[in-house]
Amino acid sequence: MTQHSHDWPTIHTHHYGWNNALEPVQRIQSGETLSFVIQDAGGGQFSPNATLETLKNLDFGNINSVTGPVYIEGAKPSDALCVELLEFRTSGWGWTANIPGFGLLADQFPDPYLIVSHHDAQAADFLPGVARVPIKPFTGVIGVAPAQSGLHSVVPPRRVGGNLDIRDLSAGSKLYLPLEVEGALFSVGDTHAAQGDGEVCGTAIESPMEITLRFSLLKGANFRTPRFETSGPVTRHHDEKGYYCTTGIGPDLFAAARDATLEMIDHLTRTYGLEPVQAYLLCSVAVDLRISEIVDAPNWVVSAYLPKAVMI
């Protein structure tokens, strides 16, 4: 832990997996603020000069690190922890990958593929000359320790948070986490420079960064699952030029999401000459999946929204 120009500590300690037996690296009171240095989802194995060989040699035992844990004095299992997301300081680069066996369309895209992109405060040159993706930094993994003993994977989300991948957990938002252990044992990681709702290929623009959070307790809240609120509208993301949308229709929402994504990949390859895997990765960082209808049995509708502003 080090001190920067601000008055609160900065946490640098990383760990892998949720475990309520971990010793906290910092103890704070409700109302205090901390900064966290976050590794990308690759656990620091990628760099701005990463290549496909980097992806092929990825050590999966050292991915999805989280920074922490932090003990909040007075936190009890009946409480909720309010986490205010105050600031994200980006690194200027990130990576997006198709990892074999992972993602909504893993059966369609069996080969590894990597895009390393660079961004400024506004957007990332995701596919130079083709697509520039607006930046909206947020944290993909954010949560507290579960009551069940032992080591638990960071990959699946759970009722105490974890790998939520909610892109609206950005600066100005507040997240409310149910607690299961005394002290909460909060950790955070997996920062993203940009992501579409759904993160269909399994990766966003994965990017290391430093973030600042403020913590407070809601005594006796007894929430069953995480809740969050934003400081402003979220429906208008990148819509100044409108959207191109595709749909998936059927009795299974997962299958409908796949169909909507496949149709969007078809549109991107036909219209912009992208390779299918490039279109897939672009969908993951810029296309939003939405449930458009879930009441007209027996078929539901999932729509995929491509902001036209993304395409150059």
Looking at residue 126, its amino acid is: F
**At residue 21, does pLDDT exceed 70?**
yes
Calpha distance 117→43 (Å, rounded)? 17
pLDDT tens per residue across span 236-290: 667 789 999 999 999 999 999 999 999 999 999 999 999 999 999 999 999 999 9
pLDDT tens per residue across span 76-122: 999 999 999 999 999 999 999 999 999 999 999 999 999 999 999 99
Calpha distance 164→155 (Å, rounded)? 9
**At residue 200, does pLDDT exceed 50?**
yes
Q: Does an H or E element contain 14, and which? A: strand 14-15
pLDDT at 292: 98
Looking at residue 111, its amino acid is: D
What are the residues whose beta carbons fall under 8 Å from the beta carbon of 100, sequence distance 6 or more? 106, 110, 111, 112
What are the residues whose beta carbons fall under 8 Å from the beta carbon of 51, sequence distance 6 or more? 114
Domains of the chain: 2-229 (2.60.120.580), 243-310 (3.10.28.20)
**At residue 3, does pLDDT exceed 70?**
no
pLDDT tens per residue across span 34-73: 999 999 999 999 999 999 999 999 999 899 999 999 999 9
**Closest by CA position to 115, among listed 280, 312, 311:** 280
